[in-house]
Amino acid sequence: AQSVDQPDAHVTLYEGASLELRCSYSYSAAPYLFWYVQYPGQSLQFLLKYITGDAVVKGTKGFEAEFRKSNSSFNLKKSPAHWSDSAKYFCALEGWGGADRLTFGKGTQLIIQP
Amino acid sequence: DPKIIQKPKYLVAVTGSEKILICEQYLGHNAMYWYRQSAKKPLEFMFSYSYQKLMDNQTASSRFQPQSSKKNHLDLQITALKPDDSATYFCASSYRGREQYFGPGTRLTVL
């Protein structure tokens, strides 16, 4: 079985601060990991992915994420945060041989205050 | 121009009725998917198709039937609708296992 946990349902920061959204996963083999962002009333937009190789991956909108096998985490980071980053962020896992099925976490609602 | 089209954007249905959700992608992708997002549950995978063949099905109920008439189409037929089926249904597509791109969604309300 595979699962994704995003322990923080809500995160509130001031503009200009550094943001880090937490994601941990459970999977018996090497996973493919993704971050997506959803703005209010909109669909999901792809931010970045980790397949293999460098532990730090860079994506769109200035985001990056760090894969840590030691604690099964894939945290999303950005510095500095901008008010336009306010949205809901989803971490997702795709397992090997899973026919590309994405398993999503419950999401983290990020609010950036001016 | 939108690359993944879902129709309709909003849909209201009566309990027990049947509806078809339309999805077309113009990205040249070989794989298409359906996901569901509701207030009660996180984003859930439903089906995946590759080259018009069913690859994976995580929907327990046979009331949900995907239909692929063309390689860039994957519609979702839902029969005997229930209020619990109320959700936003997202279609997605990808090319050869790469990242999935999501359509705008169809918001279904079952009364």
Maximum CA extent, chain A: 44
pLDDT tens, B31-79? 999 999 998 888 999 999 988 888 888 887 999 999 998 989 999 999 9
pLDDT of residue A38: 95
Mean pLDDT of chain B: 93
Rounded Cα distance between B57 and A3, Å, is: 17
Rounded Cα distance between B85 and A61, Å, is: 34
pLDDT tens, A26-57? 988 888 999 999 999 899 999 999 988 889 99
Mean pLDDT of chain A: 92
Residue type, A77: K
Residue-by-residue DSSP string for chain A:
--EEE---SEEEEETTS-EEE--EEE-SSPPEEEEEEE-TTS-EEEEEEE-SS-SEEE-GGG-EEEEEGGGTEEEEEESS--GGG-EEEEEEEE-TTSTT-EEE---EEEEEE-
- β-strands B75-78, B19-25: how paired? antiparallel
E strand or H helix at B5, and its extent?
strand B4-7
Residues from chain A contacting residue B32 (CB–CB below 8 Å): none
pLDDT of residue B1: 65
- Taking only the tens of pLDDT, chain A with its 114 residues reads 789 999 999 999 999 999 999 999 998 888 899 999 999 989 999 999 998 888 999 999 999 999 999 999 999 999 999 999 999 999 999 976 545 789 999 999 999 998
Residues from chain B contacting residue A105 (CB–CB below 8 Å): 42
Q: From the list B56, B101, B105, which residue is nearest A101 (CB)?
A: B56
Residues from chain A contacting residue B44 (CB–CB below 8 Å): 104
pLDDT of residue B101: 95
Rounded Cα distance between B56 and B14, Å, is: 29
pLDDT of residue A99: 55
